[in-house]
Amino acid sequence: MMEIDRAKVKLAVRRTGKGPSLAQLLKWRDDILATVSTFPAFSSLDLDEQSGKIVIGLEKLDEADSLRGILSGAKIPADVLLIEQSSMALTYPIPGSVFSRSRPLAGGVIIGSSECTLGIAALAESGAYSFLMTAGHCSPTFGVPDAYWMRQPLSGMQLMGYEFYDYSWTCAGGRCDNADIGLYTNDFVDYNAGIGEIPLELGLVWRMTARVAGPNALGALNIDQQFPRLSVTGIQSYGIMSQVVDKVGRSSGWTFGNTYKTCALVQFNANYKLNCQDYASYTSDYGDSGGPVFVHYPNIAPSPGGNGITFLGINSAKHLENNTVKGGSFTNTNQIRSEIGLFRFW
């Protein structure tokens, strides 16, 4: 695993005071995640490392006693759980489509002069810094952190951040890589306002108006204005044969398909190999590179507060066999972690 140059990343560390350690808070949070995320009034789950508390947001605070009763078996000290009223109503404009300006930055929208797709915003496990994730080949030089400045959207002078991580190594026949991953800061340059930071939302993917089966059909490119959110509530390590997975991309929209290959070697081009990539029969086209891949739960009705998804990886390329489109390849969570280490969305 290559060590990330954290000197290039803006730090936002909250110091842990007296009380439970950060490791203990993380364990408790993970222990209750599945329970609280399915609680009817649930809206958010966060840590306050400074005060040593797990903060649970509910749409209706009068449901707090009911939730505390449900969590009583989790053996978490009562004074560690802070339940507060927290609405998930959006306080910022909802983008109209994958081509629109997205503030905060979130997964599924167009980025860069190379016209890729923004994958997702995540947080290093330590909590030291956040970052934006997309495909490594979306910058001009594969496998090298070339400090490439990415735009979102394509027009205008505002830049969303620069690439600070992209890794590969020399191997027989060229370069090898475990993950087609590039990490970006959320710094920006605005030629009127100067240098600053663009807001991002961890684990958010914009929800499109329609979801269709691949590998040839085109999904919706417009964002659902009534139910705009897909929020990560879990992480899956790798693809599972025949499992249905979804992806969102700026070219083919929201599509899904079955996983049909796992841990395959991909000859990305004549000089670049990707180890242990997974394949699924969703639609993947030029420009979809970097988009989020996830497990969706279509039997759960859409919610204004956002539907939970399980993060699985980052879309990499279209897959053809004998000139027939089969689907797309993606870098799974395990392969991403093998390079950048652990990361999280809450």
Q: What angle do CA 143, 149, 153 make, to 5 degrees?
A: 115
pLDDT tens across 33-59, in order?
A: 878 877 877 777 777 767 888 988 887
341 phi, psi to nearest 5 deg:
90, -170
- Which of 198, 200, 201 lies closest to 230 in space, CA to CA? 201
Average pLDDT over residues 190-200: 61
Q: Which residue has the tokens 């807001």?
A: 199
CB 294 within 8 A of CB 309: yes
Provide mean pLDDT across the span 119-125: 94
Strands (E) across 10-79 are located at: 42-48, 53-58
203-344: in CATH 2.40.10.10: yes
Q: What is the pTM of this model?
A: 0.76
What is each CA distance from 106 to 41, 157, 205, 292, 324, in whole angstroms?
A: 24, 19, 6, 10, 32
Same fold, 91-201 and 203-344: yes
Q: Are 138 and 175 in contact (CB under 8 A)?
A: no
CATH 1.10.3470 fits 91-201, yes or no: no
CATH architecture of 22-85: 2-Layer Sandwich (3.30)
Predicted pLDDT of residue 103 = 84
Structure confidence at residue 195 (pLDDT): 52
Give the closest residue to 311 by CA, choosing from 119, 34, 128. Answer: 119
Q: What is the share, in percent, of the chain residues with pLDDT greater than 70? A: 87
Question: What are the extents of the domains in the chain?
Answer: 22-85, 91-201, 203-344
Residue 2's pLDDT is 47
